[in-house]
Structure formats: C-alpha cells, structure tokens
Chain A
Amino acid sequence: MRIGVFVCNCGTNIAGTVDTKRVASEALSFADVVYATNYMYTCSEPGQQEIQRAIGEHGLQGVVVAACSPRMHEPTFRRAVEKAGLNRYMFEMANIREHVSWIGNDREANTQKAIDLVRMAVAKLRFNNPLFSSKMPVNKRLLVIGGGVAGIQAALDCADGGMDVVMVERKQYIGGKMAKLDKTFPTIDCSSCILGPKMVDVSQKENITLYAASEIESISGYIGNFTVQIRKKATYVNWEACTGCGLCTEKCPSKKAADYFNEGLGAARAINIPFPQAIPKKAAIDAQFCRQLNGKKCGVCAKVCPVQAVDFEMKDSIVTEQVGAIIVATGYDLFDHSAYGEYGAGRYPDVISGIQYERILSASGPYGGHIRRPSDGKEPKDIVFISCVGSRDASVGRPYCSGICCMYIAKQAILTRDHLPESNSYVFYMDIRSPGKNYDEFVRRAQEEYGVQYIRGRVGKIYPRGDRMVVQGADTLLGVQVEVEADLVVLATGVESSAGAGELAEKLRISYDQYGFYMESHPKLRPVETNTAGVYLAGACQGPKDIPSSVAQGSAAASKVQSLFAHDTIETNPQVALVNERTCISCGKCIQVCPFGAIQWKELRGGIKKAEVLPTVCQGCGVCNATCPPKAIQLQHATDNQILAEVNELCA
C-alpha cells in the first residue's frame, strides 16, 4: 500500500508544543509511507487540495491525517479523499491535538507521543479495506416527545411541511408551563391568547396524532427507522366518547383532590378537566382521590355522563408507532423551595413560588385573577420577590443561573402594580440578567415607571411578625442590613431538569449533563442535534430557556428534521459486525451478548445454522467481536488485526 501522512500545525494549536516537521519526517520511515508533510491548516480548502494533489501525484492508496479529534474533522477528510478517488475508509486520523498538544507542555514528550500515534494509525491503515454503505428508506414520520411550547412549535412546523407527526405528552393536556402563565415578558401579552391557537392547531391538524396522558415505553431502531412503544395511561375515561362537557366534574363528590394545574392553590375534583382551554378537552380521573377506585361506593360521574365515557375498568395500554426522527421537548421542572429552612421550608403559606404567583395573577386561576394571599385571602399591600432561590446556590447543588427568573420577577412586579395600584413591590436580587432584545428596558421600566423597589442583596431569613412576615436581608450597595415587612413573599424558584429526564435519555441513548439537562452535539454549532443520529432537542430540556428561545429551538429542530426527510433514503454505516461463515462454529454466543438484538440465525443449505448480523440494527459496539471464540465475527474498521497492529506498534 502507498500511504501519505499529513501532519497539521493547526496554527499554533498543535505546532506550539509539537514539532510537526519532525513528526512528518519520522513518518517517512514507517512501512508503506511514501509521502509525508506538515501543513498550517490541513482542514482548510488549500489543505484538502494538498491531500488530493498528493494522492494523484504519488499514487497514494491510503491517507493518515494527524490533527484534531476525529469527532471534529473525520467526515471532512473522508470526503476529501473520496473526491480524489479513494474509498473513504482508506483513511485514518491520529488525534495529536486533544490527546497531545492541548494536554502537555513538554515539546519533546509531545513530539514523541505524536510520532507514536501516527505510527499506530499507519499500522492500522495497512489493514484497512474499502467499505461500502447501502441505502435504507427513510420513514418520514416525526415523533415529538413533550407538548410544551417548544414541542408544539416543532410539531406544527413539520405538520405544515406535510409530514406526519406523533406527539406524546405525559400530562393530560398540552401547553406545558406556558399554559399556566398569566402574561409573558417582555411584551405582557396574555399567555393563553398566544399559546391557545397553537394548541388548537395541534388538535385539529389531520397529520398530527396526539397521545396525551402517555409516556414513552421503549425506543428501538435507528435514524430513519425508529420503532416506538407508547404507554397510554389509564384515564378511566374513554376519550373517543368524552365530549368535554364537564358534567362529571360538577357532580363529583370528591372535592379535595390535588389541584396540580393551580400548583396546589385550589382544590380540584377527582374527575376533572384541568382548565377551560385544555387540549385535549377531555376529563380524566385522578385515581388517588376517586372514591369508586378506592373501594368506596360512588360512580356518580359514570351515572351523569351523557355519553357513558367513564370506564373504571380501564388499564394502561401500549401502542406502537414507526417514525424516522425524534424531537425531544420535555421541558423543565422547578426547584422545591422546602430546601430553604431560612425561608420557612415551605411551611409559611404566604411564602410562595413564582409559578404559584402566575396562577394567582391568572384570570382563570384559583382566585379568579384577584391578588390575594393564600393564608387568609387578604389583599397584600407589601410584596417581596426574592431572586435566585435554588439557582446560583452551590449550597443546594444548583450553581447555575436559571436565566428566566430575573425577567419574570420584573413582569410579576409590574403586573402586581397593575392589579393593586396601592401596593408596594420589593425585589431582592444579586444580579439582574436581562440580555434579550428589549429585556433590560423592561426591567428598567419596572423600576422607573412602576416604582418597584430593587434591593441588591440576598435575604438571610424570613420570620413571622403578627400576621405579616419580616424579610431580613442585605443592601450590599449601602453595606447595611435591611428588613421589609411583607404580606406575601414570592420566591423565584430555579429551573431544574424535568422529572425522569435521565430515564428517558437512556431510552433514547442520548447524553445529559450532571443536572439532567440533555446534551447538544456541539454547544455552538450543533445546538439542537444530539450525538444519536435522528434525535433532536428543543426547549428547556436542553437547559433553562425562556419562551422565545424555546420556540426558536422548536423551529430549528423542525428544520433539521425537514432536511433529513428531504431524502428518500439514508446511507447506512458500514462499520458494523460481519460474520465469516466459514469459521463460524454456530455456538450462538454472539446472539446472546448483542445488546441490540442485531444477530440472528441464518439457515444455509443442508440445514446448517450460522450467525448473521442485521447491519441496520448493529450499533458497532464490538461486544460480539470480543466474545466470538473462533473470532469469526469481526467489527468492520475495528477488526482484531487492525487493533492488534496498533497495539504492536505501541509496544514496539
């Protein structure tokens, strides 16, 4: 084989601590290497042309590039050698940046290590074979997991483009957190007025199938061809029949059910429709509070329902859907402030969270849009807002900024003034984070036009005094302790990852950070892709986000799906396991160990059975390769011979 080696300087990124010239000249002494050089930026247009020129001029049959991580530029160089007529798998990359120059300063040691890595790559390349991918049809249906504003946007964009969309939402209704908000910053437009029509669209579009009160049971397959099992949870109401008339709710005698939609501020019935604009507008029974389901005599709802939709015998059911791409938009949850003993640990009824205050402000909320305090229903006069509760606080394990609370506090303080012109609002803050368009102006307006008193400092504790509370904090700008007597305290509880985010990630085989937020493929250049092909992200499941950013990501993810679905077929990855039937001894061990069920029996003439790999199911993990006693099954592009050649060079 005639091999060419190209060592990249990467400006000074590599050349700063590696003698790339020497690496190239050493490479000339390796077996089969007929050409070697170093280059300023090998990935640049002229850098690639240099490779292509050398392939033609020196009749190269294989190429090694010693540069950055293959995750960064392997596709670039594979394309480059392919253009010059080589098979894309006759290429190897040695990572001398992340693995060498960036992690050590000793020039001599670095250069030596770089030479070793290049020698290994050359040794492997000598055993490479051309590989060819085949084409698989793309199933042009999209699965959206999570029906918050991000998921809704993605679903509508794709449905508008003519694609079939399946949406799975675990709650009984779609809309996510936005459905609970009163008005939205920075324009103070009513949340349900702008979200409502989109929710209705989801329910009316022919090509959107909505599974509410449902969760993902399992996912198998790969980009273009996923099989998804969806668990439809028992709602005890047949939704095909239910018309959403609400008679059942009116008559249900269990009046103290948990009011999740109103964040515990109101009381719901055991059978209910969470809010008047709910989509789907269907009733469901909360089994925990239903008399009938807890062995008592009742069944009132079943009796009053004009269409006999109530079904106490209902069980969870599983449906299967086939899709080609998945957008994950599972949003976020909020920090539970009972961790803060100094703020009453959740025991003071008039110390509430920001999302509870949204429900209080909302005209469809538990108090009909009149600001009252939960303890005694009195109109508050002095309202204190405290920022960064469960955010930017290492002592409760939440060191990150939630990004949205500075803005929603300003909004809530403005709305408070609109509702109660005689009231006074105070905001304790550490910093004000308002970098969006028109955002800082909005916060200034709260202070300049609405007279909201901002105090720069954290609150040390809250304690009762009469029927009010004393909020004791600091004004660090003055260097004094301050106290404010308040009727109501609103805590800006921080954003955390959605409950169960980790388990869903494992089903999807995508990664998540230490706080449970899903990891994008690249923080700058691939913000809505994951490292699993065909799975995309949108909204706050990837990190705290406000509505404009969540919607933007929903549309971005949709456009990624549309460009995938613009193709009828996709190329399969040929780096999969392959069985040599002549050496396979039919022991079946590979079938047992394959975590993806990618190996099956194949019957030859005469009834002999041999293992066979389904190339589209195989994920290239190599477990079978390591297990097979006669080494009959080999992972292409990482065969035993290739790995051993590398190891031999390393040990030489």
Chain B
Amino acid sequence: MERTNTLSIQQSRDNDFIREVEEASGQTVSKCYQCGNCMASCVYTFAYDYPVTQIMRLTQLGQRDTVLGSSSIWLCANCQACTTRCPQNIDVAQVMETLRVMSRKANTVSQRDIRVFYDEFLRSVKTFGRVFETGLLPVYNLRTKRPFTDFDLAPRLMWKGKLSFLPARIKKRKKIAQIFEVIKRDRFSKDGKARPEPLSSQTDI
C-alpha cells in the first residue's frame, strides 16, 4: 500500500488478517494502546519503514498488504526489547515473528536479500545437518549480486577457527533432512491429503 492521506477503513480493513495474526501469535492485538514504548525501545526503529508501534496499529486496522509487505518485520532482530517493555504484556516480538511467517507464506517478502538468506540458511541445514558458513556465505553473496562483500573477513575468521573448509560431520544427517520432508508433507496435508505419522514414531532423533 502506498502511504495515502485517506484510508478507507471499511474497504481496507481485513478482519481475517487480524484473526490470523492473533491465532498464530497467541496475542490480542487490540490490547495495544499505542503507547509507543516498543518503538522507543527498539534498536532498529531508525531503519524500519513502519516503527513497530505502527506495525501494531496497522495490524489492528487489518492492513494485511502493508504489514506483510513492510521491511520492518524483516529488519527486526527478535531482540525482545519491545516484549520486555510493553506495559500491556503483549509479546510484540512474537507478533513480528508471526508476521514474518505469514509474509513468507504469502510470498510478499519485501526484502529479497533477507528472503534469500533465510532460504539458503535452511538449504544449508538440510544438506549438511547444520549450517556450513563457508558454503552459505558465497552462495548468498552471489544470489544477492554482491560477490565480494565481507570477503576480506574470511581469512581472519578461518584463522580463529570460526570458518572451516569442510562442513562439520554430524551424526544422522539424513534424519535432519527427513524433518524437512515431514514438514513439507505436513503442509500438503492441509490440502486434504492424509496427515503423516507424528515425527516421533517415524524417526529416532
């Protein structure tokens, strides 16, 4: 949504959106009385397109597209300063996390780079059982078209043993990959197909 001077409340208010956020986050967004403490406490307010207080307000008003398309939800560091300070006991960081999941599902992630990072991170976990930084970072850099960013840091990190040439060998790497499969199937099951067995009975992780 463009920032406009007139917002037609009836036409733009998406009640399902409010309900979905509340159900998924377990928080009651109408409790927010717009005191501003979260945005006063958030270290990233300077970078957000909508400060977190306004994310809460936009959610109260059911502005699905604006919220899910905002950069704020992706810049959030999940540091929980907002949650700690909220006088209304709202877990604001949980709301932000919920919005990220909804945004990814709706494919409305505004920050392409951040989406790429999340995707590559998970791909790395799926392949190696845990993150392989030395592989992840160049791929991320390539996909975000800035191949040499932070390249100069690599030798120092290797020297300190923070990066290695080979992925760590973990036990039962396949089982981790299986988790991804199960989750994928789980998602399909919502489309009418049979639910898979619970994870615990299938694997012994």
Binding site for B on A (CB under 8 A): 342, 388, 392-396, 430, 456-461, 472-476, 479-482
Contacts and interface: CB of A to CB of B under 8 A. Distances in A.
Nearest to B82: A460
A485 to B, nearest CB: 16
B87 A394 contact: yes
B53 A474 contact: yes
A480 B42 CA distance: 11
Interface residues of B, number: 21
B76 to A, nearest CB: 15
Contacts of A396: 87
B88 A474 contact: no
Nearest to B33: A430
A604 B39 CA distance: 81
Interface string B64-92: 00000000000000000100011111000
Nearest to A475: B36
Q: Top 8 closest A-B pairs, CB basis?
A: A474-B36, A460-B40, A457-B36, A460-B41, A474-B40, A476-B36, A458-B37, A393-B87
A479 B52 CA distance: 9
B25 interface: no
Nearest to A398: B87
Given A342-B85, A395-B89, A458-B35, A479 B40 contact: no
Contacts of B87: 388, 392-396, 458
B56 to A, nearest CB: 10
A427 to B, nearest CB: 14
Given A430-B33, A458-B35, A474-B40, A481 B89 contact: no
Contacts of A472: 40-41
B66 to A, nearest CB: 13
B45 interface: yes
A528 B104 CA distance: 58
Interface in B17-51: 33-37, 39-42, 45-46, 50-51
Interface of A is mostly: strand
A394 B88 contact: yes
Interface string B88-102: 110000000000000
Given A430-B33, A458-B35, A479-B50, A395 B40 contact: no
B40 A459 contact: yes
A180 B50 CA distance: 45
Nearest to A455: B36
A472 B81 CA distance: 13
A474 B46 contact: no
A472 B39 CA distance: 10
Interface of B: 33-37, 39-42, 45-46, 50-51, 53-54, 81, 85-89
B51 A481 contact: yes
Contact of A430 (B35, B50, B81, B85): B35
Given A459-B40, A474-B51, A479-B54, 18 more contacts: A342-B85, A388-B35, A392-B33, A393-B87, A394-B87, A394-B88, A394-B89, A456-B36, A458-B35, A458-B36, A458-B37, A458-B40, A459-B37, A460-B37, A474-B36, A474-B40, A476-B53, A481-B45
A456 to B, nearest CB: 8
Given A461-B41, A481-B40, A481-B51, A476 B85 contact: no
Contact of B85 (A388, A392, A460, A480): A460
Contacts of A430: 33-36
Nearest to B85: A460
A473 B36 contact: yes
A480 B37 contact: no
Contacts of A479: 39, 50-51, 53-54
A508 to B, nearest CB: 34
A400 to B, nearest CB: 12
A480 B85 CA distance: 17
A457 B40 contact: yes
A394 B50 CA distance: 25
B85 A457 contact: no
Contacts of B81: 460
17 contacts: A342-B85, A392-B87, A395-B86, A395-B87, A395-B88, A430-B33, A430-B35, A430-B36, A457-B37, A459-B40, A460-B41, A473-B40, A474-B45, A476-B53, A479-B51, A481-B39, A481-B51
Nearest to A483: B40
B33 A476 contact: no
Contacts of A461: 40-41
Nearest to B88: A394
Contacts of B85: 342, 460
A482 B39 CA distance: 10
Nearest to A473: B40
A457 B89 contact: no
A477 to B, nearest CB: 9
Contacts of A475: 36
Q: Which of A460, A475, A482 has the most C-beta atoms of chain B within 10 angstroms of its own C-beta?
A: A460
B60 to A, nearest CB: 13
A458 B51 CA distance: 14
Given A395-B88, A395-B89, A476 B34 contact: yes
Nearest to A342: B85
Contacts of B45: 474, 480-481
B160 to A, nearest CB: 33
Contacts of B35: 388, 430, 457-458, 474, 476
Contacts of B88: 394-395
Contact of A476 (B39, B41, B46): B39
A595 to B, nearest CB: 40
B151 to A, nearest CB: 34
A61 B35 CA distance: 63
Nearest to B43: A481
Contacts of A457: 35-37, 39-40
Nearest to A340: B85
B17 to A, nearest CB: 21
A108 to B, nearest CB: 33
B46 A481 contact: yes
Contacts of A456: 36
A601 to B, nearest CB: 59
Contacts of A482: 40
A394 B89 CA distance: 7
A474 B89 contact: no
A557 to B, nearest CB: 35
Contacts of B46: 481
A458 B41 CA distance: 10
Interface centre among B34, B40, B42 (most CB of A within 10 A): B40
Contacts of B36: 430, 456-458, 473-476
Given A458-B87, A479-B53, A474 B39 contact: yes
A80 B41 CA distance: 64
A245 to B, nearest CB: 50
A388 B46 CA distance: 26
Contacts of A458: 35-37, 40, 87
Contacts of A388: 35, 87
Contacts of A393: 87
